[in-house]
Structure 1
Amino acid sequence: MKTRILIADDHDVVRSGVRTILEAHEGWEVIGEARNGKDAIDQAVATRPDVVILDYGLPLVNGVEATRQIRGRVPGIEVLIFTMHDTDSLIRDVLEAGARGFLLKSDAKQFLVSAVESLAAHKPFFTGKVSEALLETYLSKGTTNASALTSREKAVVQLIAEGKTNKQIADILSVSTKTVETHRALALRKLNLDTTAALIRYAIRNKLVEN
């Protein structure tokens, strides 16, 4: 039986490179590609691949929120977060969303095949560097900053920074506009900010969107 894989990244060259590596592996089939998080969710639910490779910094819906929605709607799909960033907060968000694999793009040539093999067998995959960060995160769990944004608040902030209206954000995240307004207000309060412009600067500075 073939292992069916969906690739989601907003850069054509990255998707092409990942596809080349995967299709060289006998028994694997890339069944689709997505350029943004919403498309990744829709394709994953429609085609039900074995493994979804998600870039963290996807437009519309980031990789963490896309993971949450994919795993919530089709729990059998395994998700590999594929990113340039490995901050402790990102790793924590990824795990809480339901991803069981995390791979830095710089490690793709060395570990991509191993990562997909593990996830296809429903086993978690983390490289040594990420495993160390993961351990440190959980050991210090009781001392994390209480003002840190939740993954849903980050998703809302990302979409605000991308210029989306409250109604558009509500449609993308499948929530009410009131919920969007609540998340926006909570994010502003937690970050001690008072304008949308300041929120956008925060999103750029913290790599929630690409500058």
Structure 2
Amino acid sequence: MTEQTTISILLVDDHAIVREGYRSLLSKQTDLKVIAEAANGVDAYCLYKECQPDVVVTDLTMPGSSGLELIGRLKQRDHKARILVFSMHQNPSFARQACRAGALGYVTKSSTPDLLLQAIRHVYLGKHILSTDIAQALALEKLGNDSIALNSLTAREFEILRLLVEANTQDEIANTLNISRKTVGNCHYLIKNKLGVNSDIELTRLAIKLNVVSLLDLTDPAQAGHY
């Protein structure tokens, strides 16, 4: 009789209650085991180096360095890293950027628990998987000129765009992403050029139009950075 493989998992989410829910669900599976948890990208990166999990399950929006940045850093360190995004974002642009950064799967938090479990097992095997709502959104998406331009952004540019429209300064963005202020400035210019806008006001309006951020996120201080 073949011994069952146990898949070790690193959970990354800034909400302790959410992580507790993950852990409760996964602990009931004989082939899945949570070996580490992190509330932000920096801690997650350190834990990955220490624990070498089989699969990383991460949210995208966290304090400081985001899930997109984490995916990029993990893939740079270990090109075989198997990463599943589990996010509230149903905008297909986020899924596209996450996969472009190196994630194998993208499942929204409105999905059923069984789909999350299936996705973890698929990603462990190196297979790509999307939740039904994201797959449908990508398939049915009618790309206008603005959407085409948004998809031309790199994962790094997409992340800088998100931070810019949340009113972060270039210095703050540089510190968050651990890059130089000059790099942020260059990306800022490239982003406006690719999206065909001339000012940050136009950039913010376009980001809201394309659901990169919502108007509520930009007007509610309690939600800033946690949409």
TM-score range, shorter chain: 0.7 to 0.9
Which of 188, 197, 208 is the aligned partner of 1:192? 197
Shift of 1:194: 3.3
* Cross-structure match for 1:122: 126
After superposition, the Cα gap between the structure-2 partners of 1:162 and 1:38, relative to the gap in structure 1 and judged at 3 Å, is farther
Q: Distance in 2 between matches of 1:159 and 1:124?
A: 28
Which of 134, 152, 158 is the aligned partner of 1:154? 158
Q: Distance in 1 between matches of 2:61 and 2:160?
A: 13
Q: Following superposition, which runs of at least 4 residues in structure 1 exceed 6 angstroms of deviation?
A: none
Q: Which residues of structure 1 form unaligned runs of 5+? A: none
Q: Which residues of structure 2 form unaligned runs of 5+? A: 218-223
After superposition, the Cα gap between the structure-2 partners of 1:32 and 1:141, relative to the gap in structure 1 and judged at 3 Å, is farther
- 2:105 partner letter: G
- 1:205 partner letter: S
Q: Aligned pairs, how many?
A: 210
Q: TM-score, normalised by structure 2?
A: 0.76
Shift of 1:162: 6.4
Contact 1:158–1:209 (Cα < 8 Å) also in 2: no
Shift of 1:41: 2.4
Shift of 1:192: 2.8
**CA displacement, residues 32-80 of structure 1 (integer Å, 9 cap, x when unaligned):** 1111222222322332211111112122122222212212211222111
1:170-209 matched pairs, under 5 angstroms: 170-188=174-192, 190=195, 192=197, 194-195=199-200, 199=204, 204-205=213-214, 209=225
* Cross-structure match for 2:173: 169
Q: TM-score, normalised by structure 1?
A: 0.81
- 1:78 partner letter: R
Aligned residues with identical type, % of pairs: 29
Q: Distance in 2 between matches of 1:141 and 1:69?
A: 31
* Cross-structure match for 1:49: 53
After superposition, the Cα gap between the structure-2 partners of 1:191 and 1:205, relative to the gap in structure 1 and judged at 3 Å, is farther
Shift of 1:129: 2.6
Shift of 1:161: 6.0
Q: Distance in 1 between matches of 2:198 and 2:20?
A: 40
SS of the aligned residue for 2:149 comes to coil
Contact 2:59–2:87 (Cα < 8 Å) also in 1: yes
1:40 aligns with 2:44: yes
Contact 2:97–2:158 (Cα < 8 Å) also in 1: no
Shift of 1:112: 1.5
- 2:111 partner letter: D
Q: Distance in 2 between matches of 1:110 and 1:28?
A: 13
* Cross-structure match for 2:226: 210
Q: Distance in 1 between matches of 2:188 and 2:67?
A: 19
After superposition, the Cα gap between the structure-2 partners of 1:44 and 1:164, relative to the gap in structure 1 and judged at 3 Å, is farther
**CA displacement, residues 125-183 of structure 1 (integer Å, 9 cap, x when unaligned):** 2233322233345x969994325543212322444566765455334434322101212
1:145 aligns with 2:131: no
Name the larger-Rg structure.
Answer: 2
SS of the aligned residue for 1:146 comes to helix
After superposition, the Cα gap between the structure-2 partners of 1:92 and 1:109, relative to the gap in structure 1 and judged at 3 Å, is same
* Cross-structure match for 2:82: 78
